[in-house]
A and B are shown apart, each in its own frame.
Chain A
Amino acid sequence: MRLPDSVTGSFLVVLGVAAAYGGWILPPVPGQPVGPNVFPLVIGTGLALCGLAIVFGIGHSFEEEEELIPLEDGQAAVAPPPPGKLYGLRALLPPALLLFYVFAADRLGFIITAAIMVYITSTALGAKWKLALPLAALSPFAIHLIFGKLLRVPLPAGLLPTPW
């Protein structure tokens, strides 16, 4: 997800201008020179200016290249998997699973939703089903015991209520 500075900078300019405009149109407090509109205006302007500076490469010389720790001699032979076009999208899996939790937890219940989440995350990180399946079966109960039972967080029961 490394984007060119011109792209992120331009995005910040747009965001800053939008924030400043959004602040501008807020209703002022009657009889008061400053209200809720001042702060977004200042921040939006600042953000837009920063965005411009980034587009023009100001401050770029301060950035340090990421230091990669070189592997030991023997390990260097193991090449990383060839990054396909969709490989980068794997990173979006965790937030997608969290959104899945938001929509499914109330219907399916905590235990089932959590088990699906654990299984998918674990498999995506390279676990075989022999490891992922028991983990998905047991960890939701452990988490439910800690949060639901001990800390009394009202976790949704859904289709499969816990024995306690």
Chain B
Amino acid sequence: MLKTLIDAFALISTWEVIIAMFAASVYGLVIGSLPGLSATMATALLVPVTFYLSPIAAIATIVAASSMAIFSGDIPGALLRIPGTPASAAYADEAYAMTRKGQAELALGAGVWFSAVGGIAGVLSLMILAPPLAEIALSFSTFEYFWLALLGLMCATLVARSSPVKAIAGMFIGLLVSCIGIENPGGVPRFTFGITDLFGGIEPIPALVGVFAVAQVMRAMLTPEPPPLPRRKFGSIMAGQWKLTRKYHWQMTRGNIVGIIIGVLPGAGADMAAWVSYAMSKRFSKEPEKFGTGHVEGLVEAGASNNASIASGWVPSLLFGIPGDTIAAIAIGVLYMKGLNPGPTLFTEKASSMYAIYLMFIIANILMIPLGIAMIRVAAYILLAPRSTVMPIIMLCCAVGSFAIGNNMFGVVTVAAFGVIGYVMEANGYPVAAMVLGIVMGTMVEQAFVTSLIKSDGSILPFFERPVAAILAAMAIGALLWPVMVWVWRKVKPVQTAAATSR
């Protein structure tokens, strides 16, 4: 244990890791603070850079950039009422109301302080949950993996803030995309239409860059530019935060716990955590009438929640290769490329690397406090950059980055295609996160499914015979039938009430 810890320290105390982490932090803060550029997009555009770094430095950049971007989205939320990332949308109104009351320092300070606390709570959950779960996961067979993957996919569709049917359809589209190529049980070219570039399948990373970055530039083409930020002088940002922590320690803890749980659920990420926690805070508050008028309580809980979900999203990613959120989906891609294939054995064979990940998360969240304060002070200057200068650079990064993944122009075509797919899906209420999950998990789902079918010799029964498999199966099928049941229930209920009134 102690030796692993020392090894982990040795792994992260190289100049490469330190510089990578610092640069990624600044990058994450800047991208997160610009409205329209999300934390997922920041992470996706970072991937081509990680190719050229050592495994630990690569993970360091992702950890640092994603944590920082989630906090930094609070800044334009509080000052302009425009959330910098979707994760800040839940409480942007509240924070802006505080700014108008002259409490911008308190709102932003709460953002940075409770983000850091939440992030550290998330890491603790990762450290505590992952090793025992790895023990259990070691005894899983393909049947359990199949149901677990299916359950993960279903979770993603249930928590989407959209129609569950559309979310399931999005997931199927993602799985269909993962079918392309010759990497299948028979090794035959599948859905390649004779195009050689498709033989290797669709790489998840260019697809993600397309869905999250190009689609965003496309949306920017049709939406008006956000107003510039009024320049203002800030007082002390951290003043009063300790008092808030003592006053709202229960709300903070509840936010942390909710964030951790939502982070662990596949497909549900920081934005979901913030929405749920904000609603919860309002529901259980002693003074709910103050919400919406610039009350800090909801900010504390939701801020503590969204950052906690970032770290706990790594739990299913590291254990099963099932991404906890879209950022973790990108992280999984990087882990595979760096030879740290997700799975329970990661915790025994590469224990020092795991400890290095924990340490980096802790360092990133501590680093967030000074860098975050600095960022708040210079945010007015960064937000001066008009969209017409930022978006072209994003476009160039998309083109060059997707080319760099395979030194292949086909990557750029993939990015463009998925930009259109992501844009059309989003515009019509199909959650893209579900599709992303399908793409990332497709190969794994198919392998587990086909291997299980071969083992069971065509019979369905073995899928339910093992106790853990049976429980997971019941949960997955329940999630699948849920929208249908609600629909039927709503159809039946008006008939009943109509019958009751006519009597």
Chains A and B come from one and the same complex: yes
B-binding residues in A (CB < 8 A):
1-3, 5, 8, 12, 15-16, 19, 22-23, 26-29, 32-40, 42-44, 46-47, 50-51, 53-54, 58-64, 69, 75, 78, 80, 87-88, 90-99, 101-102, 105-106, 110, 114, 117-119, 121-127, 131-132, 135-136, 139-140, 143, 147, 150-155
CB-contact partner of A34 in B185, B187, B412, under 8 A: B185
Q: Decide yes or no whether B430 CB sits under 8 A from chain A.
A: yes
Residues in B whose Cβ lies below 8 Å from that of A96: 416
Residues in B whose Cβ lies below 8 Å from that of A155: 400, 403
Residues in A whose Cβ lies below 8 Å from that of B378: none
Determine how close the nearest CB of chain A comes to the CB of B283; give it in whole angstroms.
18
Residues in A whose Cβ lies below 8 Å from that of B26: none
A122 to B396, CA, bound (A): 12
Assess the A26–B164 pair: CB atoms within 8 A. Answer: no
Determine how close the nearest CB of chain B comes to the CB of A37; give it in whole angstroms.
8
Determine how close the nearest CB of chain B comes to the CB of A95; give it in whole angstroms.
4
Residues in A whose Cβ lies below 8 Å from that of B391: 121-122, 125
Assess the A1–B396 pair: CB atoms within 8 A. Answer: no
Residues in B whose Cβ lies below 8 Å from that of A105: 409
CB-contact partner of B220 in A27, A123, A125, A135, under 8 A: A125
A70 to B484, CA, bound (A): 35
Assess the A36–B186 pair: CB atoms within 8 A. Answer: yes
- Nearest to A153 among chain B residues (CB) is B404
Determine how close the nearest CB of chain A comes to the CB of B93; give it in whole angstroms.
8
Residues in A whose Cβ lies below 8 Å from that of B219: 91
Assess the A38–B172 pair: CB atoms within 8 A. Answer: no
Residues in A whose Cβ lies below 8 Å from that of B184: 36, 39
A14 to B446, CA, bound (A): 22
A75 to B227, CA, bound (A): 9
Residues in B whose Cβ lies below 8 Å from that of A99: 412-413, 416
Q: Decide yes or no whether B15 CB sits under 8 A from chain A.
A: no
- Nearest to B458 among chain A residues (CB) is A33
- Nearest to B393 among chain A residues (CB) is A139
Assess the A95–B218 pair: CB atoms within 8 A. Answer: yes
- Nearest to B457 among chain A residues (CB) is A33
Stretch of B309-317, B332-340, B417-425 on the interface side: B417-425
- Nearest to A16 among chain B residues (CB) is B172
Residues in B whose Cβ lies below 8 Å from that of A50: 165-166, 168-169, 172
Assess the B400–A117 pair: CB atoms within 8 A. Answer: no
A157 to B331, CA, bound (A): 32
Q: Decide yes or no whether B190 CB sits under 8 A from chain A.
A: yes
CB-contact partner of A35 in B186, B218, B399, under 8 A: B186
Assess the A19–B396 pair: CB atoms within 8 A. Answer: no
Residues in B whose Cβ lies below 8 Å from that of A153: 48, 400, 403-404, 407
Assess the B165–A91 pair: CB atoms within 8 A. Answer: no
Chain B contributes a number of interface residues (CB within 8 A of A) equal to: 81
Assess the B161–A64 pair: CB atoms within 8 A. Answer: yes
20 contacts between A and B (CB under 8 A): A1-B428, A26-B190, A33-B453, A37-B186, A38-B449, A50-B169, A59-B165, A62-B162, A64-B162, A87-B222, A88-B222, A91-B219, A94-B217, A127-B386, A127-B389, A131-B388, A131-B389, A139-B396, A153-B403, A154-B407
A110 to B51, CA, bound (A): 21
With A1-B423, A98-B214: A36-B185 Cβ-Cβ less than 8 Å = yes
Q: Decide yes or no whether B18 CB sits under 8 A from chain A.
A: no
A64 to B185, CA, bound (A): 40
- Nearest to B411 among chain A residues (CB) is A102
A-binding residues in B (CB < 8 A):
48-49, 51-52, 81-82, 92-93, 161-166, 168-169, 172-173, 175-176, 179, 184-188, 190-191, 214, 217-222, 224-225, 227, 386-389, 391-393, 395-401, 403-404, 407, 409, 412-413, 415-417, 419-420, 423-424, 427-430, 446, 449-450, 453-454, 457-458, 483-484, 486-487, 490
- Nearest to B401 among chain A residues (CB) is A147
5 more contacts with CB within 8 A, not counting A43-B172, A91-B218, are A22-B191, A33-B457, A93-B218, A121-B395, A147-B400
CB-contact partner of B389 in A37, A64, A75, A135, under 8 A: A135
Assess the A43–B52 pair: CB atoms within 8 A. Answer: no
Assess the B51–A117 pair: CB atoms within 8 A. Answer: no
Residues in B whose Cβ lies below 8 Å from that of A27: 186, 188
- Nearest to B424 among chain A residues (CB) is A1
Determine how close the nearest CB of chain A comes to the CB of B158; give it in whole angstroms.
10
Determine how close the nearest CB of chain A comes to the CB of B395; give it in whole angstroms.
5
A60 to B387, CA, bound (A): 34
Assess the B404–A94 pair: CB atoms within 8 A. Answer: no
Residues in A whose Cβ lies below 8 Å from that of B222: 87-88, 90-91
Residues in A whose Cβ lies below 8 Å from that of B162: 62-64
Residues in B whose Cβ lies below 8 Å from that of A47: 169, 172-173, 176
Assess the B163–A59 pair: CB atoms within 8 A. Answer: yes
Assess the B224–A80 pair: CB atoms within 8 A. Answer: yes
Assess the B185–A140 pair: CB atoms within 8 A. Answer: no
Residues in B whose Cβ lies below 8 Å from that of A152: 52
Residues in A whose Cβ lies below 8 Å from that of B191: 19, 22, 40
CB-contact partner of A102 in B409, B419, B428, under 8 A: B409
CB-contact partner of A39 in B165, B407, B450, under 8 A: B450
A100 to B186, CA, bound (A): 36
Residues in A whose Cβ lies below 8 Å from that of B401: 147
Determine how close the nearest CB of chain B comes to the CB of A115; give it in whole angstroms.
10
Assess the A122–B389 pair: CB atoms within 8 A. Answer: yes
Residues in B whose Cβ lies below 8 Å from that of A127: 386, 388-389
Residues in A whose Cβ lies below 8 Å from that of B395: 94, 97-98, 117-118, 121
- Nearest to B405 among chain A residues (CB) is A153
With A34-B458, A90-B221: A43-B176 Cβ-Cβ less than 8 Å = yes
Residues in B whose Cβ lies below 8 Å from that of A119: 392
A28 to B454, CA, bound (A): 13
Residues in B whose Cβ lies below 8 Å from that of A8: 428, 430
Which 10 residue pairs spanning A and B have beta carbons closest together?
A127-B388, A59-B165, A36-B186, A125-B388, A98-B416, A50-B169, A59-B163, A95-B416, A118-B392, A121-B392
Assess the B172–A35 pair: CB atoms within 8 A. Answer: no
Determine how close the nearest CB of chain B comes to the CB of A147; give it in whole angstroms.
5
